Amino acid sequence: METEEKMGREIKGDPDIEQDQAQEERARTAIITGASSGMGKWFAILAPRYFSDLEEVWLVARSRDKLQKLGDRIAVHYPDVKVRLLVTDLLEGDVELKFRRKLKERNPQVELLVNSAGIGMMGKVEQQQTQELLDMIDLNCRALTSITAETLPYIGEGGHIIQMASAAAFVPQPGFAVYAATKSYVDSFARALNRELKGRKICVTSVCPGCVNTPFFAVAQKYEKLSAFKKIFMSGDRDVVHLAYQDAIRKKDRSVYGIWMKAFHVLCKILPQEMIMFFVK
């Protein structure tokens, strides 16, 4: 397992030789952001199972300890898969440059990109700090877009991109306004990109679950608690990831887990948004 202390560090040794070696090897690679917990963790654990020809898995998150434990777990089950730990905060201002350098250094053949990193905050906009609102936009939208755009030149025919959206994308959500808006962006971006990349035979899947039992809510409930009603429909993170991979392999542009969220999606198409927002709140 290899830990990258800094994504943008210089290559040691002769850069021309190492660049030539990287081009020759072109390791078949999965890149997963937000890999340290929740659905990102399961995307990482299950990636070699669904994409059996992977040679490397890049795990991107802030927590070195959590990534190390996850990397060890993957190594036990898939000893032939090299794990690289990219310890970084995607909210850092220069993360795009660092990630671009890392891709250029390694020159991977990316078969799978999963953008699972994200944050949300429940509560009225006026309750929240401005920086918290901007962080949601920066991580959920800007960083996701940047990572996707930087990785696209390295994705070959038959590659897959999975973007973590949410059922919150289906309708505006009072009390979850900025988060829902960012996920609406992700869903729209993913489905449009899927259409753009058909000529390259790259599939982009927008994953839109409802409430999922992950550490996400430890942060999200800072200002407002999740209603008992919504908890009834909470899904398991592993189950959502299994379906996401299955739908991606089936080349679906959207993955919606569970009969209740599928029904909610249909209702959002046929009922006035004002009515949906009333009942959601």
Amino acid at position 237, single letter: D
What does the pLDDT read at residue 90?
A: 95
51-110: pLDDT as tens digits: 999 999 999 999 999 999 999 999 999 999 999 999 999 998 888 888 999 999 999 999
What does pLDDT average to in each consecutive run of 10 residues of the chain (281 residues)?
51 45 75 95 97 97 96 96 96 88 96 96 92 96 97 97 95 91 98 97 96 68 62 79 98 93 81 73 61
pTM recorded for the entire structure: 0.86
Q: What is the dihedral of CA 222, 228, 232, 237, to 10 degrees?
A: 10
* 116 within 8 A of 33, measured Cβ to Cβ: yes
Rounded Cα distance between 213 and 5, Å, is 30
Question: Residue 164's closest CA among 255, 85, 71, 75?
Answer: 255
CB burial string 120-144: b at 16+ within 10 A, e below: bbbbeeeebeeebbeebebbbbbbb
* 220 within 8 A of 120, measured Cβ to Cβ: yes
What does the pLDDT read at residue 234?
A: 65
**176 CA to centre of own chain:** 20
Rounded Cα distance between 139 and 211, Å, is 19
